[in-house]
Structure 1
């Protein structure tokens, strides 16, 4: 029974696997303290997120 459930989950949409949660530490211009910028981006755009 469990094998059948796992097989159906893999065949379905894989939208969740197409995205990654990325966290970048950015210095705040107002206070000078560091803040964390968290976003869900597509796997193809991860490198572009960190370049900016």
Structure 2
């Protein structure tokens, strides 16, 4: 019985770890997308200002 409980506990710990890793990957990808969109916006603004100067 105690062996089964230990096995269940280790399985739950592994699942919890996998969920945490997936959440971190999700947060990282959202942050990366946000940075890329901000960089694109800055580039568009710079090009717009440059075209106005011409």
Higher fraction of helix: 2
**Larger-gyration structure (1/2):** 2
TM-score range, shorter chain: under 0.3
Q: TM-score scaled to structure 1, two decimals?
A: 0.28
RCO higher in structure (CA 8 A, sep ≥6): 1
Report which of the two has the higher share of strand. 1
